[in-house]
Amino acid sequence: MGKKPLIFFCDDKKKWTDQFTERHKENFEIITTNKGSDFLKELKAFVKRGQVPDIILIDLYHPKFDDVDKQAKLNPVGEAAIARLETTIKNEKIPILETWEPLGYFLLENARKLCPDTPIAIYTEQGLTLANNDELKKVSEAKGEWFLKGTKGIYEDDRLDRMLNANLYVNTTRITLWTLAVVIIIAALAYSFIVERGIDYTISFGATLVSFAIAVMPRIISYIVQKKRR
């Protein structure tokens, strides 16, 4: 069995790092820290000894104060606010769904069938906030991305550039592989004709199979990796 990919996960709440580790420990090696103040120090130590994580996950909000007692007093207030926010989102989603439907998920799934390699993003204002687990799964399975409306300047330009470059990379790789495949077939035919004074169909057929394997190998590897990760 090969070495598991390494995930370094930073979250101030131990329950989240514990739950994540329990869910994914079969497929990943997981290292966690519950102190944002220690994150960079630990990451530098990993990198220094050549243990660069394959994936890094970072929680957004962390305790504001180092004073344990002061933070302990604030925690219940903050937790109550989070609970109210979750309830508000749940309640407000009802009239939203009475007015609009999340058709974008359906459109994404079918657009992916028509354009297998094109970068596709759900471009939304608050849709990510309202998305549930099943909807997030649909976007992930369709290899979709999230793009937030209202973001301007460097963020939006950078996101568009990244999506464009990803597509250019896929297309360039495909063209390169097919070109290599054609070269192999031509070389095999030329070898057969020059050496054998005629076309050796065994060599030609073998070259065709090798060429086809080269052309489709990246897609096969990607499919296998995704299946194992699920």
Q: In the chain, how many H helices and how many E strands?
A: 8, 5
Whether the per-residue pLDDT at 166 is higher than 90: the answer is: no
| Selected residue with higher pLDDT from 69 and 141 | 141
Q: Which of 47-56, 63-72, 78-87, 163-172 has the lowest mean pLDDT?
A: 163-172
Torsion 59-119-137-19 (CA) sign? negative
Residue 152, token pair as written in the block = 């301007």
Whether the per-residue pLDDT at 29 is higher than 90: the answer is: yes
State residue 33 phi and psi, 5-degree precision: -140, 145
Q: What pLDDT was estimated at residue 159?
A: 76
Instruction: Give Rg (Cα) of the chain.
Output: 25
Residue 225, token pair as written in the block = 């990796």
Q: What pLDDT was estimated at residue 43?
A: 94
In whole angstroms, give the CA distance from residue 30 to residue 54: 10
Query: What pLDDT digit, counting tens, does each position of 96-143 carry?
Result: 889 999 999 999 999 999 988 788 888 888 888 899 899 999 999 998
In whole angstroms, give the CA distance from residue 7 to residue 57: 7
Whether the per-residue pLDDT at 149 is higher than 60: the answer is: yes
Distances (CA, A) of 83 to 40, 89, 119, 166: 30, 10, 35, 39
Q: What pLDDT was estimated at residue 110?
A: 93
In whole angstroms, give the CA distance from residue 145 to residue 156: 13
